[in-house]
Each structure stands twice: as structure tokens, then as C-alpha cells.
Chain A
Amino acid sequence: MRLDLGPLSLARGGHLLLRRALAAIPVGGSLLVRGDDPELVSHARALARRWGSSFAVEGSDVRLGPPEWLGGRWRGAERAGESGAGGVVEAPPQTWGLAARGAAVEVGAPAFAFRLASRDEVWTQDAGRFYLQAAAAQWDPATAIDWGANFELPDEVEDAVVQLMTYLIENETAALIVPARFCAQVHPHFREVMQVLAIQAADEARHIEVFTRRALLKRSAPALSTAGGQASLKTLIDEPDFALATFLLSVLGEGSFLALLRFLERHAPDPVTAAVARLTAQDEARHVAFGLAHLERHTAVDPSLLSRLANAIEGRHDALRETAGLNEEVFDALLFIAAGGWAPASLQRGWDAVVSLQAEMDVGRRVRLRRLGFSESEAARLSGLHTRNFM
């Protein structure tokens, strides 16, 4: 066999041609290499030594034998499952690490320490679909909302909106941190789950942006952050179990938030607040749907999870027993936004709206708890124990 490298140097890409030609040498054969690069001989000698080829100079050409070591690195390599969602395995080895699902992984790769590495614990068949939907539904805060819309609100109404935005920002910060943390713990073999959690965190990043921007549209600072509100959110951040955190955050918390954001869109005193509420609610609906899908599969595989979920609600309720629940600033802001003014009849209407919002949240929680397999009465009891802070 012959290989003519022309002017190409073995130190500058020519090694690829040489390696390909060496791999094709038949048993008992050899390869004659020629080229115009003055360093051909010394480069070929160094490469032959590295690859375990015999080497001889023939005039200005060189002759190489079959390489002993070319490709040997891939002996014993293992396929990391199959690339499609159907190729997900029950317990991917930690040594598959960051490899693309279905890639051939060299033996001896280092073991990672991804804590969430069992299919039953993290996987849902719908994850890929949820990710694609989320990727297609990304909106640009700069253009999706008409920030220049012309409106002026009475001071008290603007104050109420700013207070609500302040509350939403800290809630969405918790909703960013929780999936972001689990995203870093999921074995990348479960790629679609990792992608859903990542895009969920990205959604929350946009939500934080638009709530902040609305809060500061007419004011120089956000409003009040309460100890009780943060205590409630801290229990979410502190929950180390993926299933339980998903349950508390997505199914119960974001589920309740869905009703809150729709309430805000319905009663928004200005077009910017309405748009912000509408767009964020779209994303939250997806988060709730993914959390439900994940837990439905999980409880189907492991029915004992239901009692752990119930314990989680009860434990959180106990932890928050000494706190004030939904702070009155947020409650009053919601009431005032729905009322739209100081007229007694308006305030009565606002009060009624907030009461029916809480009823609506309760119904939604019970429906989702029933879907996970709780009985009617258990769902009602557990929904009643949900944090009064909504999230």
C-alpha cells in the first residue's frame, strides 16, 4: 500500500491520513509513505513509535508496518444505553458520566457521583416531550411585553402591584433554585429530565426578570419581604428528596400559583401586569404538568411513595405551624388589586374574589392529589394542610 501526503505535514493534520491508511493495512502488509514535507521522516518515526508500527527509511520515503496500538483504546468500550428515550436503563453506571446516551464509553473513565441515578427515581417517558414544548414556548421578556404601554395607576393600586411583585420574585427564586439543584444531581443518562429541569430554571429566571421589571416600572425599590414567607420557602429549599421537593414545589406550590397568576391576569389594573401574569402562567402550567407526570409514574412503580408525600405535607405544615401564613401585606394587595379602589362595594368585591381564589386553589390541589392516587377525603385533608403562603 502507498500513501502520498503531498505537501501536508504529519504534524499539521497529515497524521489523520496516515492513521487511516495504517488501519487499512492487510495482514502481513506494510505502507509506503511519501510526501514533500522535509520533516516527513522524523515525524513518521515518532508516530510509528507511538502507535507501535515497524519503521524503515527507503530513500526519501518511509515504510510503516501495521500499528499495534491503533484503536486499542476502544477495546472493551461499553455503549451507554441506546440514544432514544427507549434506551434508558434502570441504573446507569456512574462511569458513563457525561457521555451522550448511546455513546461508546472507554473503559476506565472516572466515576462521577450523580446522586439521582435510578430510572424509577427520576424518569418519566414524557420528559422529552415536555422539554420540546418548553423549548418551543420560550418568550423574550424584551419583546413579549409592551413595557412602554401608557398607564397611570392610583398610588395605592401601584403599591399593591409592587407588593405582589415583590412576593412573586422571592417565590420564583425558590422555584429556580430547587430544580437547578436537582438538575446538577441527575445522572446525565436521563438527559431529557436534566433538560426539563434546566429549562424550568431558565423559565424562572425570566419570571424573576419580568416581575422585577414590573415592580420597578414606576417605583425605585421593591416592597416588603416577610419572615413568614421566607420560612415557608426555606422548607422547599431544604427538602433533599427529589420526589418530595417536586411534589411540594411543582404539584402543590406552582399548582396554587397557577390560580394566583390567572387571578392576577383577570384583575390586572394595567396591561403590563396582565401580560406578565399571562406569560408566566403558561410556563407554570408546564411545570405542574411535568411534576405530575413524574410523580404519577413514580407512585405507580412505588405505591409506598404516597404515604411519604402525605408525610411531607404534614411535616411542612408542622414546621410552619408557628409562622403567620400568608402575610397580610400580600393578602391585602390581592384584595386591593381585585377591588381596584377604596369604594366599600369594591372592597367587598375584592374580598370575595380573594376568598374564591383560595377556594379555587384548594380545588386544584385536591384534583392533582387525586390524580396521584390519594382518596377523596385524604386529598381534602392534605390540601387543607398546604402552606398558607400558597407556594
Chain B
Amino acid sequence: MRPFVLGAVAYDPKVVAIWDGFKQFFEDHGLPFDYVLFHNYERQVAAHFAGLIDVAWNSPLAWVMTERIARKKGRKATAVAMRDTDQDLTSVVVVRADSGIQRVADLQGRKIGVGAADSPQATLIPMRSLSLAGLAWPDGMEVRHDLLLGKHGDHVGGERVAAQALLRGEVDAACMIDSNLLAFAADGTLPAGSVRVLHTTEPYDHCNFTVLDGVDVGHVVPFLSLLLGMSWDDPTVRRLMDLEGLKAWRPGRTSGYEQVDMAANSYGPMNELVDQA
């Protein structure tokens, strides 16, 4: 039987441990499974349409790309599953506590530190959210921290560098996911009382498993059934779930992608990719 092949982006060495573990888990439960790692999401999306993989573990931006290309080609993309922790995230815009910046409007003309250009959580979504709150973006206002482009900000590095730039006074605000604000406060990157939250985005969803029409249902059904049946109470899979940062898999939903979908319009490289598809 041909294995069910998953595509994932190698944003960290632990990705190998994660998918090796999942491969073992699926095969122990009777589903032939293999995976392919990509350097970047753009390559993964292209491979998905080329039929090289059956399911893609996609960032929110990769999901939007896949959905747009599918629409253009008259095909259909479906988000079949996601982590519990992929649902209802927010990003925050923080400023130095003593900065005197009280409203979003006070940021006009200042430098705003964001993550990588393709990071939904640290760049695209918060910038759009600030725009909706009235901010304009003349040249030089957005200070990008382009760590590991192509990995859509999965790597925490860009957000941490933006936070450090804020403390050093190189930027006047920094954008990050809410859980990274908590992590940076806890690990001392942002000392107690050094920053405050100026603005919070609306909740949005993060990664999902994406399949395209024509995928073998005989594979997808057991894949989903095994995935959704994984229990954090089961010590044999708990390590994998801890590594991947979830307590339970949820059925996929697309209601949480409106913000990234709108924000992606301003991301040139993606539009080119869709145009060329």
C-alpha cells in the first residue's frame, strides 16, 4: 500500500523528532505513513499541487496561498484538522512602559518593530490591525526582523529580536503573538514593568492540515480518525503532542483565517506566487 505522505516545513531541528514520532504512531496503528520536509512553505505549497504530498501541515499564510491557488485552478482545498492551541490566538503590539505612547495614533511616524515579512502573527495580522485602527505606513515606519524567511514566522526568533530592539530604543513598538509576550516576560527577555500592551488584534487561527480534492479518502479517513483519537493522557503520544505544542487535535475550521486572508493581500511575494500558479 502506498504510504500517506505528509509535507511539513523544517523550522527547527525538533521537526524531525516530531514527524519521526508521528510516522511511528501512524504505522503502529496500521496506516502506512511517510513525510517530506521542506525548507519553506512556498515550496511545500507547490509540491502539494504537484501531487508530491497528500497532506500539508500549513501555516495560516500557506493555507491562504493554497486556497487561492486551488480556487484559481478550479480545485478545492480543505482544512481537515488543527491543534487546540491553533484556535483563537491574538497578537499584541507592545510599547516601552515609560514611552508616553497612549493610543495607536501616537505610533504614527514612529518605528514599529515587526517579525519576518511573511509572519502572519508578528507582521501581517498586527500591521493590518493597526491600519484598521487608523495607522498609515509610510516608508521606514515598519522595521522588519527577517529571520528565516519562508518559514512564515514559525521560528520565534524574529519576535524576540523585535522585542529586544524595543528595549534598546531602536523601535517604538514591537509586535508578537500573545503567548510569546508571556514567554518573553517569563524568561526575562522583557523585564518586569518594561513594556505595556498598546493594542491587541482580534482572535485568529493558526496552522492546519490541508488536503486537496482528489486525495485518497481511504487514507484521509484513518489519518483523521487516528489523529483526532490521540489522547494526551496516553503517555506514548504525550511526548509528541508536547513537542508539537498541543493537548488535543480539533477538526479543522476556516472561520479564523479572515484576518490573514485580508492581510495577505498586502504581501507581494504571495500574490506573485498565486499569479504564477
**A interface residues with partner B (beta carbon < 8 Å):** 9-12, 38-39, 41-43, 45-47, 49-50, 52, 55, 68-69, 72-73, 75-76, 106-108
Contact between B84 and A39 (Cβ–Cβ < 8 Å)? no
Decide: A39 near B185, CB < 8 A? Known: A72-B233, A75-B233.
yes
A222 → chain B closest CB, angstroms: 51
Listed A/B pairs (26) with beta-carbon separation below 8 Å: A9-B185, A10-B182, A11-B181, A12-B185, A12-B186, A38-B196, A39-B185, A39-B197, A41-B197, A42-B178, A42-B182, A42-B200, A45-B88, A45-B90, A46-B178, A47-B182, A50-B85, A50-B247, A52-B84, A68-B247, A68-B248, A72-B232, A72-B247, A73-B238, A107-B235, A108-B235
Say yes or no: is B89 at the interface (Cβ < 8 Å to chain A): yes
- Structural contact, A69 and B182, CB atoms closer than 8 A: no
- B239 contacts A by Cβ under 8 Å: yes
With A41-B200, A52-B247 as known contacts, state yes or no: A46 contacts B181, CB within 8 Å: yes
Q: Does B24 contact A (CB under 8 A)?
A: no
**CB of B192 within 8 Å of the partner chain:** yes
Interface membership of B92, Cβ < 8 A: yes
Quick one: which of A12, A43, A49 contacts B181, CB cutoff 8 A?
Answer: A43
Q: Which B residues are CB-close (under 8 A) to A75?
A: 233
Which residue of chain B has its CB nearest to the CB of A46? B179
Q: Is the CB of A11 within 8 A of B247?
A: no
Residues in B whose Cβ lies below 8 Å from that of A10? 182
Q: How far, in whole Å, are A41 and B85 apart by their CA atoms in the complex?
A: 17
Structural contact, A39 and B85, CB atoms closer than 8 A: no
For the complex, what is the distance from the CA of A43 to the CA of B233, rounded to whole Å? 26
Nearest-CB distance from A109 to chain B (Å)?
Answer: 9
Any A CB within 8 A of the CB of B236? yes
From B92, B179, B233, B236, A49 is in contact (CB under 8 Å) with B179
A38-B197, A43-B181, A72-B233 given. 19 additional CB < 8 A pairs? A11-B181, A11-B185, A12-B186, A38-B196, A42-B92, A42-B182, A42-B200, A43-B178, A43-B182, A43-B185, A45-B90, A45-B178, A49-B87, A55-B88, A69-B247, A76-B233, A76-B235, A107-B235, A108-B239
A76 vs B233: C-alpha distance when bound (angstroms)? 8
State the Cβ distance, A51 to closest chain B Cβ, in Å.
Answer: 8
A11 partner residues in chain B, CB cutoff 8 A: 181-182, 185-186
Q: Which residues of the partner chain A approach B238 to less than 8 Å between Cβ atoms?
A: 73, 108
- Tell me whether A39 and B196 are in contact (CB under 8 A): yes
| A40 nearest in chain B by CB position | B197
Q: How far is the CB of A85 from chain B (nearest CB, A)?
A: 29
User: Would you list the 6 A-B pairs with minimal beta carbon distance, nearest first?
Assistant: A108-B235, A11-B185, A107-B235, A46-B179, A42-B178, A38-B196
* Smallest beta-carbon distance B232→chain A, Å: 6
CB distance from B137 to the nearest CB of A (A): 23
What's the Cα separation between A10 and B186 when bound, in Å?
9
In the complex, what's the smallest C-beta–C-beta distance from A126 to chain B, in angstroms? 37
Once bound together, how far apart are the Cα atoms of A107 and B233, in whole Å? Answer: 9
Q: Which residues of the other chain, A, contact B89 by a CB distance below 8 angstroms?
A: 49
**B97 to chain A: closest residue by CB:** A38
Q: Which chain B residue lies CB-closest to A47?
A: B182
B182 touches A12 (CB 8 A): no
Q: Kindly list chain A residues whose C-beta atoms are within 8 Å of the C-beta of B248.
A: 52, 68
Please name all residues of chain B whose beta carbon is closer than 8 Å to the beta carbon of A46 when the two chains form the complex. Answer: 178-179, 181-182
Closest to A39 in B: B197
> Separation in Å of the B200 CB from the closest CB of chain A?
6
CA distance A41 to B88 in the complex (A): 13
Q: In whole angstroms, what is the CA distance A373 to B165 when docked?
A: 77
Query: A57: nearest residue on chain B (CB-CB)?
Result: B200
Min CB distance, A320 to chain B, in Å? Answer: 51
Interface residues of B in 197-235 (CB under 8 A from A): 197, 200, 232-233, 235
B217-272: which have CB < 8 Å to A? 232-233, 235-236, 238-239, 247-248
State how many angstroms separate the Cβ of A44 from the closest Cβ of chain B. 9
CA separation between A106 and B89, bound complex, in Å?
30
User: Is B179 within 8 A of A50, CB to CB?
Assistant: yes
Q: Which residues of B contact A45 (CB under 8 A)?
A: 88, 90, 178
Q: Is the CB of A39 within 8 A of B233?
A: no
> Which residue of chain B has its CB nearest to the CB of A54?
B88
Question: In the complex the two chains form, what is the Cα distance from A76 to B235 in whole Å?
Answer: 9
In the assembled complex, the Cα of A49 lies from the Cα of B206 at a distance in Å of 13
Q: Are A9 and B192 in contact (CB under 8 A)?
A: yes
Q: How far is the CA of A108 from the CA of B232 in the complex (A)?
A: 11
Residues of chain B contacted by A76 (CB below 8 angstroms): 233, 235
Residue ID in chain B nearest A49 by CB atoms: B85
- A41 and B90 CA atoms in complex are apart in Å by 11
Distance from B270 Cβ to chain A, minimum over Cβ atoms (Å): 27
- B residues near A41, Cβ cutoff 8 Å: 197, 200
Give B89's nearest chain A residue, CB to CB: A49
Q: Could you give, for residues 90-105 of chain B, a 1 whenever the CB lies within 8 Å of some chain A CB and a 0 otherwise?
A: 1010000000000000
B143 CB to closest chain A CB, in angstroms?
A: 22
Q: Which residues of A contact B85 (CB under 8 A)?
A: 49-50
CB distance from A72 to the nearest CB of B (A): 6
Q: How far is the CB of A7 from chain B (nearest CB, A)?
A: 10
Q: Hey, which chain A residues are within 8 Å of B200, CB to CB?
A: 41-42
The answer to whether residues A12 and B192 also contact, given A69-B232, A108-B239 and a CB cut-off of 8 A, is yes
A11 and B190 alpha carbons, distance in the complex (Å): 10
Question: What residue of chain A has the Cβ atom nearest to residue B86's Cβ?
Answer: A49
Give CA–CA (A45, B85) in the complex, Å. Answer: 11
Minimum CB–CB distance from A230 to chain B (whole Å) comes to 47
Nearest chain-A residue to B91 (Cβ)?
A: A42
In the complex, what residues of A have CB within 8 A of residue B192's CB?
A: 9, 12
CA of A246 to CA of B237 in the docked complex: distance in angstroms?
Answer: 43
Q: Give the shortest distance, in Å, between A35 (CB) and chain B (any CB).
A: 13
Complex Cα spacing A292 to B88, Å: 67
Give, as a whole number of angstroms, the nearest-CB distance from B119 to chain A.
17
Chain B residues near A12 (CB, 8 Å)? Answer: 185-186, 192
